[in-house]
Structure 1
Amino acid sequence: MDTPDRATMLADFTVVRRMGDAGNGTFFLARPPARLGLPDDRVVVKVFSGVCSDDAYRRGVRELRAFAAVQSPYLAKLYDALLQEQFMYAMEYFPNGSLAEPASGRLDRDAGLAALADAARGVHDLHEAGIAHGNVTPSSVMLTDGGGRICDLGLSRVLAADEPLTSFVQPASVEYIDPSLLAGGLPTRATDIWSLGACLHYVLAGTGVFGPIPTSQPVLAIRAALSNPPSLSARLTPAEVDLVASCLNLNGRVPATAADVASRIDALR
């Protein structure tokens, strides 16, 4: 067996193939090193864009450790974090893909709702542990057989804590971020619930809630989200409108917890 050259390695993870970009980084399918003692022969390594400082690395590792310490069947498993100029971490591999990119190419309504309900349960478990996710988007909801898990904690905000908002907010994710965060607020239970509502709208209608977003320019994308109120698709049923509107705080009845959101999503199935 040939020894992989450096171009096929990420630290001591052996790259199998590039999976795609996530705006703030790149995902690779890889074989884990023996030192981790994992039962899985495949993991996903996310490499964040840009050079990472030692301080940012320590912040990122602290956040990942807190995430990994939460006992929940609805959270993706985290295995390792490394710094080689760029910050990277390894997590479990989901061959079914995500809400944003299902491996099958198309996801039916019931499967999408089941995955998002499970992701909401994972978000609730984080909240109960005192952690706000901060990056709930269709790309962070991974698909399992019959359900889903939440991954991709909002590390970009943590790694770029001393930099402008536009250094870590990706235009494609703007329509799933509570405008209060875009205006400078901090992630909370309520902002994650807002994002779950926006993701629910995506599952039900196939679109975000802000209409066309200029995906090539972060400043314009943020400006569009801050200047336009959310608009719900006419394709939604009254029950669907009520839940999405509640999550987005459009009707004064915001769900108390992400677990409540999960239960109400289940009721739509």
Structure 2
Amino acid sequence: MATVEVPQHLADFTVLSRLGEGGNGTFYLAVPPERLGLTTDRVVLKVFGGRCSDDAYRRGVRELRAFAAVRSPYLASLYDAVLQGQFMYAMEYFPLGSLARPTQPLTRDTALAALADAARGVDALHEAGIAHANITPSSVLLTESGGRPGGKVSDLGLARVLAADEPITSFAQPGAVQYMDPALLAGDVPSRATDIWSLGAVLHRALTGQGVYGEVPDAQPLLAIRAALSTPPALSDKLDPEERTLIANCLALSGERPATAGEVAGRIDRLRH
């Protein structure tokens, strides 16, 4: 396997290592420049693939500023946005990883605590008039304070914003399609309701290790989208009745979809034993 070259610098950030890929970009651990005046010596840089126009950069910065203006302990801190051919932004570093890539095996309680907190962060965004539009296991970051597990949400759906004039098939990631409300794939705009659908799909993955569409194809986004649009979500037999009811509600498979992400957070809390 070919070695991936890691740049020493990105803009005026000093790159320490490559953390991985996801959400149409590559993540790096970096040392922030003094100009930011941060008290932390580690940040994560997300660098989006492909060239970015000035207009797309302005759209991306506008979205990030709106996210950063929302005050919630359940939202990842954002520090900077830079355009050097590619669009990149700097955010808080989470040494425990995410639901998708934890640095150590997750217990059920830890996963539920992180997802409940992330839902609270999503609720704060909704109250500020912002839809997240990219809730996946990778966007739920793991925290711990005083021995209490928790989480924060990050990674807004900027790929959609940066590629505003392009069809969804040009930027949708196959692995992320299973966490997108089919209404989005059919052309609806991101909303409180579509984010709640995503929270339900991520909860299903956290509890069962399975997606609501089974194994989506990895070859092409278009194939994953077709699978999601043609296959009704199916819930795993591993779920207990309370878990099944909450997820079915979020996906609107039965009953009414929860009115708020805050309600979802409270119901996830009640699943913890």
Same fold (TM over 0.5): yes
1:72 aligns with 2:93: no
TM-score where L is the length of structure 2: 0.95
* 1:198 alignment partner, one of 194, 197, 201: 201
Number of the residue aligned with 1:139: 138
Give the Å deviation of 1:168.
1.3
Deviates most, 73-82 or 16-25: 16-25
Number of the residue aligned with 2:165: 162
What SS is found at the alignment partner of 1:88?
A: strand
* 1:238 alignment partner, one of 233, 237, 241: 241
The whole-number CA distance in structure 2 between the counterparts of 1:212 and 1:193 is 21
The whole-number CA distance in structure 1 between the counterparts of 2:97 and 2:195 is 22
Give the Å deviation of 1:87.
0.3
The whole-number CA distance in structure 2 between the counterparts of 1:31 and 1:102 is 22
Give the Å deviation of 1:77.
0.1
What SS is found at the alignment partner of 2:83?
A: strand
Question: Could you list the per-position Cα deviations for residues 107-166 of structure 1 after superposition, in whole angstroms to 9, with x for gaps in the alignment?
Answer: 111000000000000000000000000000000000001100000000000000011111
| Contact kept? 2:23, 2:159, Cα under 8 Å | no
Give the Å deviation of 1:7.
3.5
Structure 1 runs, 4 residues or longer, greater than 6 Å off: none
Number of the residue aligned with 1:215: 218
The whole-number CA distance in structure 1 between the counterparts of 2:8 and 2:161 is 28
Number of the residue aligned with 2:3: none
Amino acid at match of 2:123: H
The whole-number CA distance in structure 1 between the counterparts of 2:32 and 2:163 is 27
What SS is found at the alignment partner of 2:134?
A: coil
The whole-number CA distance in structure 2 between the counterparts of 1:204 and 1:221 is 22
1:12 aligns with 2:15: no
Give the Å deviation of 1:215.
1.2
The whole-number CA distance in structure 2 between the counterparts of 1:108 and 1:253 is 29
The whole-number CA distance in structure 1 between the counterparts of 2:121 and 2:7 is 36
The whole-number CA distance in structure 1 between the counterparts of 2:224 and 2:23 is 14
TM-score where L is the length of structure 1: 0.97
Number of the residue aligned with 2:126: 127
What SS is found at the alignment partner of 2:164?
A: coil
Amino acid at match of 1:29: L
1:182 aligns with 2:181: no
Question: Could you list the per-position Cα deviations for residues 41-87 of structure 1 after superposition, in whole angstroms to 9, with x for gaps in the alignment?
Answer: 00000000110000000000000000000000000000000001100
Question: Could you list the per-position Cα deviations for residues 151-185 of structure 1 after superposition, in whole angstroms to 9, with x for gaps in the alignment?
Answer: 00000000000111111110010100000001111
Number of the residue aligned with 2:255: 252
The whole-number CA distance in structure 2 between the counterparts of 1:168 and 1:67 is 21
The whole-number CA distance in structure 2 between the counterparts of 1:235 and 1:220 is 27
The whole-number CA distance in structure 1 between the counterparts of 2:232 and 2:73 is 35
1:59 aligns with 2:49: no
What SS is found at the alignment partner of 1:101?
A: coil
Give the Å deviation of 1:252.
2.7
What SS is found at the alignment partner of 1:7?
A: coil
Aligned sequence identity (%): 70
* Residues paired across the two proteins, number: 263
Amino acid at match of 1:21: E
Gaps of 5+ in 2: 1-5
Give the Å deviation of 1:23.
4.7
The whole-number CA distance in structure 1 between the counterparts of 2:167 and 2:271 is 39
What SS is found at the alignment partner of 2:7?
A: helix
| Contact kept? 2:17, 2:28, Cα under 8 Å | yes
Question: Could you list the per-position Cα deviations for residues 212-257 of structure 1 after superposition, in whole angstroms to 9, with x for gaps in the alignment?
Answer: 2111211000000000000000000000000000000111321110
What SS is found at the alignment partner of 1:176?
A: coil
1:266 aligns with 2:246: no
Number of the residue aligned with 2:21: 21
Mapping for residues 94-105 of structure 1, pairs under 5 Å: 94-104=94-104
Gaps of 5+ in 1: 1-5
Amino acid at match of 2:98: S
